[in-house]
Amino acid sequence: MSAETMNDAEFGFGSGHINPVKAIDPGLVYDAREADYVAFLCGQGYTDPDLQIITGDASTCSSVTAGADTNLNYPSFALRTLPLASVDSSFIRTVTNVGSSVSTYKATIYAPSSGLKIQVNPSVLSFASQGQQLSFTLAIQGTMDASAIRAALVWDDGTHQVRSPIVVYI
């Protein structure tokens, strides 16, 4: 499957699709710790008792800063909006270099023509060492003119292509 040629690819396999051969050497990974998920759940309105059932420990929402639902460090981007609504949203992500110690990844957005503009900043990530983490922002702006817009962000260093699906939907 290819996001460049399949309009419904994100709903077909999302960020959960794993290519076993490429998974051995992914190049970049999106790390998320338990604290990130706790902050996300608190931002979603979960109560302390709900949170403790999920985590199996004494986690509380007062112990973390509630996270925006768009900023869980997950390898996909999903945004719900209203029909014909003006969209102005951004996602912050951090990736960890697990590939070559010195590597440069360039971002490409694969998106259909629509009323939305999708940008990545910075559009180039240059790593000096393995294990180094760098952050980027994906911004979506414009007017929603369809029931769903499917796109993909691909980070490419010439060896690895790290694909993250983007879906904006009503």
Q: Is the pLDDT of residue 58 over 70?
A: yes
Amino acid 64: pLDDT = 77
Model pLDDT for residues 124-160, shown as the tens digit of each residue: 999 999 999 999 999 999 998 888 889 999 999 999 9
Amino acid 146: pLDDT = 82
Model pLDDT for residues 15-30, shown as the tens digit of each residue: 556 778 778 889 999 9
Amino acid 9: pLDDT = 56
Domain ranges across the chain = 9-31+73-169, 32-69
Q: What three-state secondary structure class fits 167?
A: strand
Amino acid 12: pLDDT = 60
The second-level CATH assignment, the architecture, of 9-31+73-169 is Sandwich (2.60)
Q: Which residue has the tokens 């960020």?
A: 15
Q: Is the pLDDT of residue 162 over 80?
A: yes
Beta strands 161-169; 77-80: pairing state = parallel
Q: Is the pLDDT of residue 6 over 70?
A: no
Mean pLDDT, the chain, integer: 87
Model pLDDT for residues 97-108, shown as the tens digit of each residue: 999 999 999 999
Side-by-side strand order, sheet with 77-80: 77-80, 161-169, 148-156, 103-110, 124-127
